[in-house]
């Protein structure tokens, strides 16, 4: 860590410039490490008619981030499932289930996580998300 201050020797401006650069670098690193709320499906949210494979391929999610599922609670839900249940569209044994219409889901472990809509027919119609979460 560099000392930021003014010297009586006439080189204070150089020390201050280096200190300022160091502070700016630390702030940039801290900002990039900040957690984000990521709305699943972007402006369309969690609904039928969104290609979640495409959305997931363009979205970076880290363990510090929170996925926000926005949807009509009268029409949909959010069900976290195993890989097998994801591919079979089976919501019978969920790892977690949400149904408020605005749900915040955070995956603390890196890896691929699986989410489906548990309303009959919705998962098979494409309302399913396999999301890779990075450390």
pLDDT confidence of residue 19: 53
Do residues 3 and 24 both lie within one domain?
Answer: yes
pLDDT confidence of residue 33: 60
Domain that holds residue 10: 1-34
Do residues 70 and 4 both lie within one domain?
Answer: no
Does residue 110 have a pLDDT over 90? yes
Whether 83 and 44 have beta carbons less than 8 Å apart is answered as no
Do residues 76 and 123 both lie within one domain?
Answer: yes
Q: What percent of the chain has pLDDT over 70?
A: 76
Whether 87 and 63 have beta carbons less than 8 Å apart is answered as no
Please compute the mean of the pLDDT values over residues 9-30 and round it to a whole number.
Answer: 46
Least confident span in 19-28, 66-75, 81-90, 111-120: 19-28
Do residues 65 and 102 both lie within one domain?
Answer: yes
Q: What is the mean pLDDT of the chain?
A: 84
Does residue 67 have a pLDDT over 60? yes
Do residues 59 and 91 both lie within one domain?
Answer: yes
Number of domains in the chain: 2
* DSSP label at residue 83: H
Least confident span in 17-31, 43-57, 101-115: 17-31
pLDDT confidence of residue 18: 58
- The DSSP line for 38-81 is EETTGGG-SSTT--HHHHHHT--EETT-EEEEE--TTT--EEEE
Q: What is the CATH number of the domain that holds 43?
A: 2.60.40.420
Do residues 41 and 27 both lie within one domain?
Answer: no
Question: Which residues have C-beta within 8 Å of that of residue 107, sequence separation ≥ 6?
Answer: 61, 63, 67, 113, 131, 133
Do residues 110 and 54 both lie within one domain?
Answer: yes
If one counts every other C-beta atom within 10 angstroms of the C-beta of residue 71, the result is 24
Do residues 42 and 19 both lie within one domain?
Answer: no
Q: Count of residues for the chain?
A: 135
CA–CA distance, 78 with 97 (Å, rounded to integer): 6
pLDDT confidence of residue 17: 53
Do residues 43 and 22 both lie within one domain?
Answer: no
Please compute the mean of the pLDDT values over residues 39-67 and round it to a whole number.
Answer: 98
End-to-end CA distance of the chain: 26
Do residues 79 and 128 both lie within one domain?
Answer: yes
Do residues 1 and 47 both lie within one domain?
Answer: no
- Where residue 34 falls among pLDDT bands split at 50, 70, 90? confident
């Amino acid at each position: 860590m560099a000392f930021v201050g003014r010297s009586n020797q006439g080189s204070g401006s150089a020390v201050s410039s280096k200190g300022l650069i160091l502070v700016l670098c630390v702030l940039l690193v801290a900002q990039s490490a900040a957690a984000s709320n990521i709305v699943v499906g972007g402006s369309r949210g969690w609904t039928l008619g969104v290609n979640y494979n495409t959305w997931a391929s363009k979205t970076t999610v880290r363990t510090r981030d929170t996925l926000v599922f926005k949807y009509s609670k009268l029409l949909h839900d959010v069900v976290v499932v195993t890989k097998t249940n994801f591919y079979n569209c089976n919501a019978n044994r969920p790892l977690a289930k949400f149904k408020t219409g605005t749900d915040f889901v955070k995956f603390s472990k890196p890896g691929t996580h699986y989410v489906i809509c548990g309303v009959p027919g919705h998962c098979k119609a494409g309302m399913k998300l396999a999301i890779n979460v990075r450390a």
